[in-house]
Amino acid sequence: MNDVKPLALVTGASSGIGFELARQLAERGYDLVVNAEDDARLQQAAQEIRAAGARVEVVRADLRVPEETEALFTAATTLGRPLDVVVLNAGVGRGGAFTDTDLADELKIVDLNVRSTVHLAKLVVRDMALRDTGRVLVTSSVASMAPGSFQAVYNASKSFLQSFTEALQNELKDTGVTLTSLMPGPTETDFFHRADMDDTKIGRQDKDDPARVARQGLDALFSGKDKRVAGSLRTKAQGLAAKVLPDSAKAQAHRTVAKPGSGERDGTG
C-alpha cells in the first residue's frame, strides 16, 4: 500500500509529555502504538491522537511487570510493520525523605523507570540494529544531573537512564540507529501530584508546557541530536548551571524545592 505511514511506539502516552509526543508524531505523519497502565485514559488519549489522522493501536500494559513488557513489544511488532520510532517515556516518581517513604513505592520507580526501560530497549534496539535503521527517544530529565534530595530514587533513576542512553549512543554510532535523550524540567503534568509533592516549592511553581517540551524533543530526535534540555529558558538555565555546580550545591538546591512542606508560606529548606 502506498499510503502506509511509518510506525511509532510511545510508552506512558495517556497524558502529559507522553501524550504530546504521541500526538505530535501523528501530526508528523506517523501511525502509533500507544501504551499506558490506565486503560480509560489511554483510550481517551488515542481518540484525540486519531484526530490528527493517524491509525492508533492501543496496548494497555503495566511495564513494571516483565511479561507485560514482552507483550507490548509483541503487540507492536506483529502488525506487519517495523517500528521506525520508539519513545521510551513511561516513568513515575515519589517525593519525601528516603527514611519515610515506603520501600514498595521506591521499587516501583526502579521497576518502571529503570528495569522496564532496559527491558524494552533490549528488544527494540536489537530489532533496529538488525535492520540498521530506527530512532529511539528516551525521556530522561534535568533531574539526572543533580542528586535529588527528597527525590533520591527518582533522580537516581534518571541518572541511570542518561548514562544508559549515552552508552548506547556510542555503541551504535556507526549504525543507522540513533538514540536521543529528552531532558525536561518541571512540566505541567500530574507528575508532582502523583508523587505526593503538592506541598513542595517545585510542586507549586509555574511549570513548562508539555507540548513545547515534546516539540523540542522530537525536533532533537529527527535532527539526530544526542540530547536536548527541553522547556523554558529557566529550565535551560538550570541545565547549564548543573554542569558547573558541585554535587553538594545541587543537592542542597534540590532540597530547598523538594522538601515536604517547602511550598507552604512558612516552609524552610
User: Pick the catalytic residue: 19, 73, 154, 191?
Assistant: 154
| N- to C-terminal Cα separation, the chain | 60
Torsional sign, CA 208, 32, 59, 65? negative
Element housing 166 (H / E): helix 152-171
Q: How many CA atoms lie less than 13 Å away from 186 in the CB half-sphere?
A: 19
Which positions ≥6 away from 110 have C-beta within 8 Å? 153, 157
Return the C-alpha cell found at 263.
511550598
Q: Is 154 one of the catalytic residues? A: yes
Query: What's the 3-state SS for 219-244?
Result: HHHHCCCCEEEECCHHHHHHHHHHHH
Q: Which of the residues are catalytic?
A: 154
